[in-house]
Structures are given as C-alpha cells and as structure tokens.
Amino acid sequence: MGEGVEWGLHCCVTLGWLHAEAPVPTRRLAAWFDLPQEYLKKRLQALGRAGILASSPGARGGWSLARPPERITMMEVVAALEDGLDAFTCTEVRRRGAGARGGGPELGGTCGVAALMRRAEMAWRRELAAHTIADLMAQSPESAARTHRNYRHLTG
Amino acid sequence: MGEGVEWGLHCCVTLGWLHAEAPVPTRRLAAWFDLPQEYLKKRLQALGRAGILASSPGARGGWSLARPPERITMMEVVAALEDGLDAFTCTEVRRRGAGARGGGPELGGTCGVAALMRRAEMAWRRELAAHTIADLMAQSPESAARTHRNYRHLTG
DNA sequence: GTTCTCTTACTCGGATAGAAACTGTCCGAGTTGTCTGGG
DNA sequence: CCCAGACAACTCGGACAGTTTCTATCCGAGTAAGAGAAC
C-alpha cells in the first residue's frame, strides 16, 4: 500500500479541521507534514477526481473537503489513492497446466481460493467503510487545537 | 500482494490431495499449474522455512505438507509468502513539519489513522486465520478427484 | 469611479527519471535413492 | 549374494537481470484574485 494513503488521510483530517480557512493550497499542506510538494499534489488530484476533495483554481485557491467529514469514509480515501484495490488477484492458475486436463464443470465456477481471499478483503473494506474522516478528527482534540493555532502563524 | 500467494495456496491444496504420493518435486508442481519452475521453487522454499511445507532432499524427494491441512491456516501461508505483512505502514507523518510544532502529549500516543488502519487489517487477518487448507480442499471434490486421476498419468 | 489589463498564485495534466519491489533465471553445493561392478 | 562407488534426481542458497509499481520532479496550460492604468 502506497505511502500516499497515509498522506491523504492526514490531509483530509487537517482539511476538516481547517474548514474555516479553506481552501488550503498544496504548498501549505506539504510544509505542514514536510512532504514533497509536487508528489503530494498528484495524490490530492486523485482525491479530487474521486470527489473527496474540491479544488479551487486561481490565486488564493487550494483544496477543501468536497463533503462534510462525516460523509467521507476511510474506504473512499484508500480506494481513491490505491490503483488496484484488491491486494489479491486471481490469475486462474487452477485452469492452467497438466492439473486442469480433462477439466470438470467446477472449473467454470469461481476459484475457491479467490473466493476466500475476497471474503477476507471484504472484511477489511467493511472495517474501513465503517469509519469516517469525522471519526479521525474526533480522536485527538489536542491536535485539532494545535492545528488551528499553528496554521494562523504559518508563513509562506 | 504477490502472485506467489496464489501459487502457494494452490500448491498447498494440491499437496493435501496428493498426500499419498508425497513428496512431490517442484518440477511436477510447476508443470501442474504451468508456472516458472525456478521461481516457484523460491516460493516453496519460503513455505518450507515457515514450517508449512516439509522438503525431502535427494532422489525421489520433493515437497509435502508439514502438518495436516486442518492445521494450516490461509493466514500462515500468506504471511510466509509476503514480506511486509502490513499493507499500511505508518511513517508518523503527523510528527513532522510545521503542523507538529509545539507538539502536545497526544503525539506520544499511537497515531489515530494508523490505529484504524491496523484495525481493518486485523479484520482481514482474522478472516484468513479462520480458514484452513482443509477448507479449501473440501470446496471442490471434483478437483480433488481429477487431481488424483491426472497425477497418476503425469509423465516427467 | 469604473473598467480593462497585467501580474501573481494557484490547479491540471502529461512527460520523464530514479528507487524499490516483484518476477524470473542461473549456478554451485549438499543429500539421497538407484544402478553397476567387483569381491 | 553383498558391498563400494558412480550416477541421477532432488533441494538449498546465493547471485544476478528484467519488469512493473511507487516515488519524485519538471514543464506548459488554464483559471481566478488583486493591483494598477486608462477612460
């Protein structure tokens, strides 16, 4: 899983806290977490395409949450930042080679291995879909307060 | 997730079915699924180091299950074949950059983002740990029968 | 004072390069069953 | 018939490329706010 997922989640949380100061330009978010600005931009663009962040072009533009944080699940953020969502991909190995010779009708159905792997990934998704950016925001009020404090004094 | 995980699971299931013919050499398993023999060998060696498969050196040697299939969980197989088990890795972005200036005590605790991501991965692991190679073997008796039939006639 | 234009500060998308992980191949060394030849 | 030695069939581990994915940077184009000039 790419590092951009961590960045994206933290950015969403921060944008939730900084709702009053939106939009926040990429440069500031990069300085905020000490991240490479150009690459962070690419990941934020992906969140924009997914309808999670909204971009304001032009001077004084930047990024803001496209929806209230209670309506953005962690699953959506992860899905937007990860290309191949499924960690496991079934290549239908069971249908190839000498083992499949004279294959019976069960080869037409879904692969049992893939089915159980999929089931596990569904459990993972369910867990991620059950929590929102608002949950993350609520976890550390101290960080929220410091964010407001620091952002006002942020130069550049 | 690497392709070797799929190979490993299918090989374990097949070795379960071919218990009577064990040990099965890498060459046969590779031909069985039409896989690159040398690379498959590497993955099987990993399963051997993890104590999932047992290797018999020498002529007429090969691989067999190190334990009865009811006692090999899918989780173990995946863990043995995947280096970095955790898909998500927390790099503690929250402690870096301008956003962390004057950091409060909550920065000492665990990261909320990482905690929820971890929770999701635990759900995934739980699901994988709940199913064994025996479960996979039981899913398709037709394949089991064909495996026995084909293996007898397998030349080379 | 209003409007027009110019500059500035942003985002968007594509192109590109480097780093890391995954995939695949090759080789030398060790182990064991089988075959062969001598006793 | 029995035993020693050669041979063949395996695994083990390391070294080494090729390929894909992730990370990172750069550039040109488009958009909006604000400043300044013209009317």
Q: What is the pLDDT of residues A43-93, one digit of tens each?
A: 999 999 999 999 999 999 999 999 999 999 999 999 999 987 888 999 999
Q: What is the pLDDT of residues B74-104, one digit of tens each?
A: 999 999 999 877 889 999 999 999 999 887 8
Q: What is the CATH number of the domain that holds B143?
A: 1.10.10.10
How distant, in Å, are the alpha carbons of A5, A52, B36, B117 from that of A43?
9, 12, 36, 19
The whole-angstrom separation of Cα B61 and Cα A96 is 24
pLDDT of residue B115: 97
- Does A105 fall in a domain? no
- Does A40 fall in a domain? yes
- Contacting residues of B for A90, CB less than 8 Å apart: 6
A106 contacts B128? CB cut-off 8 A? no
- Does A67 fall in a domain? yes
Q: Which chain C positions have some atom within 7 A of a protein CB? A: 8-14, 21-27, 30-34
End-to-end distance of chain B based on CA atoms, in angstroms? 32
A119 contacts B127? CB cut-off 8 A? yes
Q: Do residues A69 and A131 lie in contact, with contact meaning Cβ atoms separated by under 8 Å?
A: no
- On the question of pLDDT at A156 being above 70, the answer is no
- Does A71 fall in a domain? yes
pLDDT of residue B135: 98
DSSP annotation of B103 = -
Residues 57-86 of A with CB under 7 A from strand C: 57-63
- Contacting residues of B for A126, CB less than 8 Å apart: 123
- Does A125 fall in a domain? no
Q: What is the pLDDT of residues B112-122, one digit of tens each?
A: 999 999 999 99
Distance A38 CA to C16 C1' (A): 14
- Does A91 fall in a domain? no
Count of domains for chain A = 1
Q: What is the pLDDT of residues A119-138, one digit of tens each?
A: 999 999 999 999 999 999 99
- Does A121 fall in a domain? no
A with B: how many residue pairs have Cβ under 8 Å apart? 161
- Does A118 fall in a domain? no
Name the β-bridge partners of A132: A73
Q: What is the pLDDT of residues B127-138, one digit of tens each?
A: 999 999 999 999
The whole-angstrom separation of Cα B119 and Cα B87 is 12
Sign of the CA dihedral A45, A50, A54, A55? positive
Q: Give residue A143's domain range.
A: 3-85+132-153
Per the prediction, chain A carries an average pLDDT of 94
